[in-house]
Structure formats: C-alpha cells, structure tokens
C-alpha cells in the first residue's frame, strides 16, 4: 500500500484529516483552533499530509486552503460527501487493519503515546512513548486497568468517554491526566476511538495521548495571573466579582447572610512617598498575609486598588462580620518592620451586609462609602453602612465623576479671606480658598471634595491651578502698586511630588510674578516626615521668594526640634483652640504657649477662626500678630478684596 497506508502518519494526523474531510476546504488557522494546537504545529501536520499526497493545496487570494484527495486513501471507503461519524468508522477500521499488518516496531516508533485498551479497561498494548509518558515500564502497564494510572479526579471522565463511544460516537476527544510514580502528573489530549470487527461489534479501544502538560501549565499560569493580584497573590477585582456573585446567589437561595469589608490603609500615599515604593509594595504584601491569617476558611480576600482590600464574609451574620472587622483593624495596628524600625500603620474599614437585591457593584460601593467616612474622621475607624449613608454614596459618586471635568468646565473659582494685622487693623494678606460650584449640587465645601481629589490623583493638578490663579491675581495687585500677600493651602501630597519646585517656578514665569508675597500653607504633618527631603524642598521654594507657613498648628504631633530645623516663616493657630479662648483654660494656655514659642523662634503667628470680640481681645493681649475669621471678614471674590485694598480699609479693633 506504500505511503497511502502509512499507519503512523494517519494515526498521528487522523484528527486533522478528519476535520479536512468534513469541511472539504479548510485553513491552517481553523485546524489549529479546532484541535487546540498552535498554528506552527498545524502547519507541520498539513505539510506532512501534503507531502504524502493526502491533501492538495489551493491559493485563494492571499491565503492557502487545503482540500482532501480522497482517491489517495486507498482501502478506505471515503468520498467527498462523507460524514464525521463515517470517517471515524473508516479510520477505526483502518487502524484495526494496520495493527494487524504492521510490526510492533512500527507501532513502537510512533512519537505519540498510544495504548490499545480492552473493552473491560485493561491495557493490552503500549508503545515506548506511552511508557515514557506514564513513567512506567511496559510490563508494569500491560494488564493493568486504564484507571490505575489515571488521576483520581479524571477517573469519572473515562467512564463518560466510554459511555459516549458505546452510545454511538466511535471517537471522542477528552483531556486526561496520568499520575507518575513520583506523584507528579502529565496532561494529555486523549483521542479515544473504538475498533470494530467485520461484524460491526467492538473489539477494543485505541487511545492516542499527545502530551500537553507544558501547554496546560502555561494556560494555568495565564489564568492565575488573570484572576489574581500579581503583587500580593490574592484575588483581583475580576475574581472578586465572580466570588461575590456566587456568594450572593448562594445567600439568596439558602437564606444566609453575606458581609463585605472594605479596607484602605491610612495615608498610604504618604508612606509610599516618604519610605519608598519598595517598602510600600512590601507593606501591601504583609497586609495581604495578615488578612489571610485572620479570615475564616469560607472567607476570601481581594486587592482591587493601590491600598484597597476587600474581604468577602460568606455565610456570616452581622455580628460575625463586625467581629472580623475588629480583628482586622487590630491586626493592621501591629507594627510593621522597615530597616530594623517599627512602622505603625492604621486602616479605615467599611462594612456592609448584603440584601436580597444587592449587586456586587453596590456592595463594593457601599463598603467604600464606609471607608471614606472613616478617613474623614482621621482613619483607624470601622464604619458600618446603612440607609443613612446611601445618599452619601450617591453624592460621592457624582462628585468623583464631576471632579474630572471641573477644571475643563471652569467650575472652580478662588475666593480670598482677609488676614488682619491685629496691631494696626489693616489687611496684612489674604488666604486663597478654593470654591466649587457644581452644576447639579451647587456649592460644594472643599472639606468634602478635597479628599476625593486626593483619592483619584487630581490634587496636584487642582492645587497647581489654585497657585496659578493666586499668582496671577498677585501680579495684578502688585502692578497696581498694592503690596499684597496671599497664602495658598498646599497638601502634603502636593509637597511630595518630585517636581513641586519646577512646577511652581514655571507658574511664576507664566504669570510674570516674582514669588515675593506668595505664602504656602502646609499642614503640620510635614514636620513628622523626612527632614532631609522636606528641608531641601523648602529651601528651594524659599529661593523663589515664597514664604512657608504651618497651618492648624497644635493639632498634630510635630517635634519642636524639627520645627527649628525647617525654614518656616509663620505658624497658624488652629481655630479649634481659638474657639475656647477665655472659656476653656486649657485652650487659652495652649494658645498663649504657641504665641510665646513663635515669638521666641522669631516666627510670625496668625490665629484662625476668630468669631467674636472676646477671642479677638484675648489674642491681642497675648501678642498674636495676625488674625482671620468670620468676625473680621468672610471669604470674598477678588473684586471685593480690590475694593478693600484700594480704600485702605481699616478694621476698628477694640
């Protein structure tokens, strides 16, 4: 029969030949997709079949298609109208004849593992490739049951394959694992066909077992990467959504509870910037491991943002979920190690219990609202979502979306609040205050939207815009001969930006302003961070003529030693202490101490939040140099400040 009845070739490429026979004209890409092999492997198969004249190549435009040459399959009853089942029967009959007429050497030389299996599952013949695949010698395989070397999880698959074959499918393709002596296993793409006698009765099965272990490993790695966070190894948002959907469906069917805990690390961006991204990454890995160490076996952990983790509490009551949340927040409080030092980290948690109507998206949104509320209260909090917070969730979503367009739509404006010299009554400077007029919600308080701007990474852009507006206004005042000063609030995150000095310098160039008269107000937390970094940044800003002020002084835990080392020009007493002047002895004593310390360090001092005449009188008596507050003047547009400047307005101070 020559090459036409080349048994190893047809055994090796029978599946591809079957596809072509059924389709008549088929592309290599289709063969590869149907057989789940690479296009390169499919090209090799087709090249073999073309060389042995089983196929004929045709050109259709820029592509090749391949057509079966049925007249070359001598001995096989096949024509152009053959059906898939008929081809299987023909191929199986041919295999049976080939087994009878070819030597054991020909069978053994096949590069693909091949096993002849009796109807009762006993393995009758194996080639050397099959021995290598299973990792057993031939005499240890022949006579044993097919399932003896099958992975336990795949034993049922063999029963399914046999049932389908006996039910009329003479060939069946199924992925199958075999266990080796060392406990490892190999994946195969098992094509099992039945061999029948002349009377049509089954004689035995023939299994061809290409090794696809490498392919499966690649697929499993790809699947894991696609469903897990590469940094921490816990689930990502895709897998989390799937688990939430499954858990919520189960909760609804079985009438059980489902809890969701959202966790954000407090001040993570600051930690990342001051201690480095390597430590930030290591911190996230350690947080993930701590969370995995405290959850129950039925719970799961996911990371869905930079420092945002989600815990799904499956089959958990409200009290059980709350207990886990308390355990989590205590676990995070335990010190983390960095270069031999203990780093204290806190977290804000939001907790929500699912209702029958909840969707995964709603559960995550509601839990995040709890986190946001905790952060507003300085973090290290557990907040439980309820209906009273739902409106805030919707408002938060509107604000987050609106912030992205606010600059483009000119929705921001800058107001100025006068700062009065408490000795002369004249305006010493003004504080630039950002205002947002939302097209739907109206005026939005900066205390509400600034944290959202920090969260979504817009604070640098918005802050730079405020600085530019203040510089442009200062340039106009100075051009008109008014020696005016303006203070601008600059967040720690803005100060942590590597290009803060360059951005500020370019802003001064664009607005044609020298920098004299501009003051950056910084929160006290900068005094608790990297002295070298901030010291150099402050020095560079001072070289541009910019003054530096510490805002809300007395509310943090700054070191006076660090205060002395920084090139600070001014302290601003927090309005919370000013409020208690004359009524709270502790507040009064604290303000006196701050004013005395500022004078000793030759720093100017400004009191915020002056609301009545008594507070003003106490501040003047203490020697406080400047003050601002609603008792003196509310924030106003630049045009109103112009009138005060031009008229040299003087406040009558008692």
Per-residue pLDDT reduced to its tens digit, 611-636: 999 999 999 999 999 999 999 999 99
Q: Which two tokens stand for residue 651?
A: 């406040």
Q: How far apart are the first and last CA of the chain?
A: 120
Q: Which two tokens stand for residue 88?
A: 């299987």
H/E stretch holding 464: helix 459-479
Cα distances (Å, whole numbers) of residue 230 to 162, 168, 225, 234, 278:
41, 47, 7, 8, 15
Of 368, 379, 351, nearest to 268 by C-alpha is: 379
Which part of the chain has CATH 3.30.70.270? Answer: 231-385
Burial class (CB in 10 A: 0-12, 13-18, 19+), 357: exposed
Of 421, 373, 416, nearest to 642 by C-alpha is: 416
Contact at 8 Å (CB) between 282 and 401?
Answer: no
CATH superfamily of 231-385: Reverse transcriptase/Diguanylate cyclase domain (3.30.70.270)
Which part of the chain has CATH 3.30.450.20? Answer: 103-227
Characterize 515-532 residue by residue with b for buried, 16 or more Cβ atoms within 10 angstroms of its Cβ, and e for exposed.
bebbbbbbbbbbbbbeee
Give the contacts of 134 (CB within 8 A, at least 6 positions apart). 113, 141, 149, 178, 180, 186
pLDDT of residue 121: 87
CA within 13 Å, CB half, 159? 5
pLDDT of residue 321: 93
- CA torsion 85-86-91-96 (nearest 10°) is 100
Q: Which residues are 341's β-sheet partners?
A: 338
Which part of the chain has CATH 3.20.20.450? Answer: 401-646
Of 247, 263, 332, nearest to 298 by C-alpha is: 247
CATH architecture of 103-227: 2-Layer Sandwich (3.30)
Q: How many CB atoms lie within 10 A of CB 502?
A: 11
CATH architecture of 401-646: Alpha-Beta Barrel (3.20)
Cα distances (Å, whole numbers) of residue 595 to 337, 487, 573, 624:
38, 20, 8, 6
Which part of the chain has CATH 1.10.10.10? Answer: 1-83
Cα distances (Å, whole numbers) of residue 561 to 432, 535, 550, 566, 574:
30, 13, 15, 9, 20
Q: Which two tokens stand for residue 407?
A: 């600059």
Residues constituting the chain: 654
Contact at 8 Å (CB) between 55 and 26?
Answer: no
Longest pairwise C-alpha distance within the chain? 120
Contact at 8 Å (CB) between 570 and 547?
Answer: yes
Cα distances (Å, whole numbers) of residue 290 to 240, 286, 295, 327, 382:
18, 6, 9, 11, 18
Q: What are phi and psi of 65, to 5 degrees?
A: -125, 160
Category of 75 on φ-ψ map: left (φ > 0), alpha (ψ -120 to 50) or beta:
left
Q: What are phi and psi of 247, to 5 degrees?
A: -65, -40
Q: Is the torsion defined by CA of 205, 210, 216, 217 positive or negative?
A: positive
β-pairing, 518-523 with 547-553?
parallel
pLDDT of residue 417: 96
CATH of domain 1-83: 1.10.10.10
3-state secondary structure of 425: coil
CA–centroid distance for 429 within its chain? 44
Tell me which residues of the chain have a pLDDT lower than 70: 1-12, 14-15, 17-25, 34-36, 61-63, 68-110, 170-172, 220, 223-224, 387-388, 525-533, 554-562, 654
pLDDT of residue 581: 92
In angstroms, the CA 569 to CA 573 distance is 14
H/E stretch holding 431: strand 427-438
Residue found by looking up tokens 């003050």 in the block: 627
Give the contacts of 51 (CB within 8 A, at least 6 positions apart). none
In angstroms, the CA 82 to CA 24 distance is 10
Characterize 80-108 residue by residue with b for buried, 16 or more Cβ atoms within 10 angstroms of its Cβ, and e for exposed.
eebeeebbbbbbbbbbbebbeeeeeebbb
Q: Which two tokens stand for residue 600?
A: 């000793």
């Amino acid at each position: 029969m020559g090459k036409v009845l080349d048994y190893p070739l047809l055994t090796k490429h029978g599946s591809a030949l079957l596809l072509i026979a059924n389709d008549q004209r088929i592309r290599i890409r289709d063969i590869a997709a149907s057989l789940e092999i690479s296009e390169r492997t499919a090209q090799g198969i087709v090249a073999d079949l073309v060389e042995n004249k089983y196929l004929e190549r045709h050109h259709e435009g820029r592509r090749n298609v391949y057509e079966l040459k049925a007249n070359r399959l001598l001995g096989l009853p096949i024509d152009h109208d053959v059906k898939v089942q008929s081809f299987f029967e023909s191929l199986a009959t041919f295999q049976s004849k080939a087994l009878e007429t070819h030597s054991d050497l020909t069978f053994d030389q096949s590069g693909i593992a091949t096993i002849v299996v009796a109807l009762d599952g006993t393995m009758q013949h194996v080639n050397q490739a099959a021995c290598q695949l299973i990792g057993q010698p031939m005499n240890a395989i022949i006579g044993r049951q097919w399932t003896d070397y099958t992975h336990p999880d795949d034993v049922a698959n063999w029963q399914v394959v046999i049932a389908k074959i006996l039910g009329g499918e003479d060939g069946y393709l199924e992925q199958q694992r075999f266990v080796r002596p060392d406990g490892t296993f190999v994946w195969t793409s098992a094509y099992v066909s039945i061999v029948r006698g002349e009377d049509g009765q089954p004689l035995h099965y023939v299994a061809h077992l290409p090794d696809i272990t490498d392919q499966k490993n690649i697929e499993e790695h790809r699947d894991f990467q696609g469903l897990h966070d590469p940094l921490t190894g816990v689930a990502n948002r895709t897998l989390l959504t799937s688990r939430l959907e499954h858990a919520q469906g189960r909760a609804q069917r079985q009438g059980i509870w489902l809890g969701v805990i959202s966790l954000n690390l407090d001040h993570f961006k600051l930690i990342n910037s001051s201690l480095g991204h390597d430590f930030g990454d290591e911190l996230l890995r350690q947080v993930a491991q701590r969370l995995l160490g405290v959850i129950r076996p039925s719970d799961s952990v996911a990371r869905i943002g930079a420092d945002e983790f989600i815990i799904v509490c499956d089959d958990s009551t409200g009290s059980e979920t709350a207990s886990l949340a308390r355990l989590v927040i205590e676990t995070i409080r335990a010190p983390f190690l960095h270069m031999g030092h203990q780093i204290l980290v806190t977290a804000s948690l939001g907790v929500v219990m699912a209702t029958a109507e909840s969707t995964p998206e709603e559960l995550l949104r509601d839990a995040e609202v709890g986190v946001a509320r905790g952060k507003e209260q300085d973090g290290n909090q557990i907040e439980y979502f309820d209906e009273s917070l739902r409106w805030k969730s919707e408002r938060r979503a509107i604000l987050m979306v609106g912030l992205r367009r606010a600059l483009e739509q000119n929705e921001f404006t800058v107001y100025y609040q006068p700062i009065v010299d408490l000795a002369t009554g004249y305006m010493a400077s003004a504080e630039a205050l950002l205002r947002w007029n939302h097209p739907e919600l109206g005026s939005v308080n900066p205390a509400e939207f600034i944290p959202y701007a920090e969260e979504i990474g817009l604070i640098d852009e918005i802050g730079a815009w405020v600085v530019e507006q203040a510089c442009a206004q200062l340039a106009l005042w100075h051009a008109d001969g008014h020696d005016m000063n303006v203070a601008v609030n600059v967040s720690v995150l803005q100060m942590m930006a590597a290009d803060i000095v360059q951005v500020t310098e370019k802003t001064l160039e664009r607005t044609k302003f020298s920098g004299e008269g501009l003051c950056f107000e910084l929160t006290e937390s900068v005094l608790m961070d990297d002295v070298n970094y901030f010291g150099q940044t402050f020095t560079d800003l001072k070289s541009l003529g910019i003054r530096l002020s510490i805002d809300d002084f007395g509310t943090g835990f700054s070191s006076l030693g660090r205060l002395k080392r920084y090139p600070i020009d001014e302290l601003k007493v927090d309005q919370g202490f000013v409020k208690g002047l004359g009524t709270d002895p502790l507040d009064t004593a604290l303000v006196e101490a701050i004013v005395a310390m500022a004078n000793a360090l030759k720093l100017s001092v400004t009191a915020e939040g002056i609301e009545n005449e008594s507070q003003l009188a106490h501040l003047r008596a203490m020697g406080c140099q400047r003050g601002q507050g609603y008792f003196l003047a509310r924030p106003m547009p630049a045009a109103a400040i112009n009138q005060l400047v031009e008229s040299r307005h003087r406040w009558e101070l008692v």
